[in-house]
Amino acid sequence: MHTVLIISPGYPAEMPFFVRGLASTGVRVIGVGDQPVDSLPEMAREHLAAHWHVPSFADEDGIVAAVRERAAGVRVAQVESLWEPTMVLAARLREALGVPGLTVAQTIPFRDKEEMKRVLDGAGIRTPGHRRATTAAEVRAAAEAIGYPIIVKPIAGAGSAHTHRVDEAAQLDAVLPDLAGVPEVSVEEFVDGEEFTFDTICANGEVLYENICWYRPRPLVARSLEWISPITLALRDPLADHLAGGRAMGYAVIDALGFRDGFTHMEWYRKADGEVVFGEIGARPAGARTVDVMNYSCDTDLYTRWAEAVVLGRFTQPVTRRYNSASVCKRAQGQGRITAIEGLGPLLGDFDEWVTAVDLLPLGAPRRDWRQTLLSDGWVMVRHPELASCIDIADRFASDLRIYAG
């Protein structure tokens, strides 16, 4: 039987949906992860034929050896990972088991932000000016060479952690201590503009599904100011004129990196003068429940469509975009436990028809760390066929829904 290994089947929260999607295509799904089988979410457990528990993702050599041994009696046909920290592990397992899919060498440009831009520069794609740096002196030299303002960020970062905008040399002193624990950074030209995604599901190198999300505001701003309710909005019309350059860049990037099967998640910038600039790309879906935002825009299950793409090489049903669809992430005011949620009733009264999901921390629950998780203290998803209405509704949830902690 066609057997697929899926890494970390229970975490992050989206993974059980991918497990279910895989199982629905008729393959046998085996999990490989650091969660003991008993602590896997029920949906993951239900659709796994087996789960190979490994002590820690930090010990990749150990995992490769253990999986190689366990796989001796099982013909593994595919290894899948949809979570950034385990992308290289998945590639190592593919190489060890001799199965197709991204190799380690093909995965590195998706992981190392300098290597990524080096390859894309070679393909003529407009990346921000950039340099790799491992010491404070190298960061200063790179900044001088590129010119302020700059961005300094980890070479393999995620979630905007340790990512800083620096406007002048004097400001570097304040920023460098935060990077002390980061072995290597990317120093980049600061690109001012709107920020979008380009997301795809590919099979055999062809794009079966594509999506563009608009971040409101830019992630770095959303991650710097606690009062903001970040909005990610999947646009119903990715063919709109102002998106054409980013979309074309998305196709060129996938081509340049030789990506063939699975999800991709690219971020790109559009400057006020219309120039588009590459941001980054992952060989995986966007996190923070953005796949659900995309699902609600098309009334489809992209977890299953992805599984069909990687197993069957095609979708079993067409995907049609019907809505603009958005998530609004909420951060409580105050510290400690959630004490009050205000405004939800009237908002649902006004927009019930357009609200697709509400998942807020309950009263009494401890607040989450908004710097660690974009989902923060909860989220609401909304949609509307008209872009202006979708923006209005999302903005109303951003401003009028208030969560308090104390």
Ligand X SMILES: Nc1ncnc2c1ncn2[C@@H]1O[C@H](COP(=O)(O)OP(=O)(O)OP(=O)(O)O)[C@@H](O)[C@H]1O
The site for ligand X (CB under 6 A) is made up of 128, 151, 153, 157-161, 163, 188-191, 195, 218-220, 267, 279-280
Length of the chain (residues):
406
Shortest reach from residue 282's CB to ligand X, in Å: 8
Shortest reach from residue 116's CB to Mg ion, in Å: 12
SS (H, E, C) 30-76: EEEECCCHHHCCHHHHHHCCEEEECCCCCCHHHHHHHHHHHHHHCCE
Environment class of 137 (CB within 10 Å of its CB; exposed 0-12, middle 13-18, buried 19+): exposed
Shortest reach from residue 148's CB to ligand X, in Å: 12
| Nearest CB to ligand X, comparing residues 153 and 367 | 153
| Nearest CB to ligand X, comparing residues 12 and 219 | 219
Shortest reach from residue 158's CB to ligand X, in Å: 4
Q: Report the alpha-carbon distance of residue 139 to residue 152 in Å, rounded.
A: 8
Shortest reach from residue 299's CB to ligand X, in Å: 26
Shortest reach from residue 161's CB to ligand X, in Å: 6
Contacted entry of ligand X, Mg ion, none for residue 383, CB cut-off 5 to 8 Å set by kind: none
| Nearest CB to Mg ion, comparing residues 267 and 308 | 267
Shortest reach from residue 163's CB to Mg ion, in Å: 8
Site for Mg ion in 266-285 (CB under 5 A): 267
| Nearest CB to Mg ion, comparing residues 197 and 300 | 197
Environment class of 336 (CB within 10 Å of its CB; exposed 0-12, middle 13-18, buried 19+): exposed
How far does the chain reach from its first CA to its final CA, in angstroms?
54
Query: φ, ψ for residue 265 (rounded to 5)?
Result: -140, 105
| Nearest CB to ligand X, comparing residues 134 and 317 | 134
Contacted entry of ligand X, Mg ion, none for residue 195, CB cut-off 5 to 8 Å set by kind: ligand X
Contacted entry of Mg ion, ligand X, none for residue 59, CB cut-off 5 to 8 Å set by kind: none
Environment class of 390 (CB within 10 Å of its CB; exposed 0-12, middle 13-18, buried 19+): buried
Cα 403 to Cα 110, 208, 305, 339, 395: the distances in Å are 37, 39, 35, 8, 15
Pick from 77, 87, 95, 109: nearest CA to 313: 77
Environment class of 396 (CB within 10 Å of its CB; exposed 0-12, middle 13-18, buried 19+): middle
Q: Report the alpha-carbon distance of residue 312 to residue 308 in Å, rounded.
A: 5
Contacted entry of ligand X, Mg ion, none for residue 52, CB cut-off 5 to 8 Å set by kind: none
Shortest reach from residue 117's CB to ligand X, in Å: 10
Applying CB under 5 A, the span of 114-122, 178-186, 242-250, 262-270 interacting with Mg ion comes to 262-270
Contacted entry of ligand X, Mg ion, none for residue 220, CB cut-off 5 to 8 Å set by kind: ligand X
Contacted entry of Mg ion, ligand X, none for residue 158, CB cut-off 5 to 8 Å set by kind: ligand X
Shortest reach from residue 374's CB to ligand X, in Å: 7
| Nearest CB to ligand X, comparing residues 153 and 330 | 153
Contacted entry of ligand X, Mg ion, none for residue 153, CB cut-off 5 to 8 Å set by kind: ligand X
| Nearest CB to Mg ion, comparing residues 84 and 267 | 267
Contacted entry of ligand X, Mg ion, none for residue 60, CB cut-off 5 to 8 Å set by kind: none
Cα 241 to Cα 200, 247, 250, 270, 365: the distances in Å are 19, 10, 15, 12, 45
Positive or negative torsion for Cα 166, 168, 171, 176: positive
Pick from 52, 49, 50, 43: nearest CA to 18: 43
| Nearest CB to ligand X, comparing residues 280 and 301 | 280
| Nearest CB to ligand X, comparing residues 284 and 367 | 284
Contacted entry of ligand X, Mg ion, none for residue 190, CB cut-off 5 to 8 Å set by kind: ligand X
| Nearest CB to ligand X, comparing residues 153 and 321 | 153
Site string for Mg ion, 84-123 (x = CB under 5 A): ----------------------------------------
Residue whose pair of structure tokens reads 């202006």 in the numeric block: 388
* Total residues at interface with Mg ion (CB under 5 A): 1
What is the number of other CB atoms lying within 10 angstroms of the CB of residue 315?
18
Query: φ, ψ for residue 188 (rounded to 5)?
Result: -130, 150
Shortest reach from residue 225's CB to ligand X, in Å: 12
Residues lying near Mg ion in the complex (CB under 5 A) are found at 267
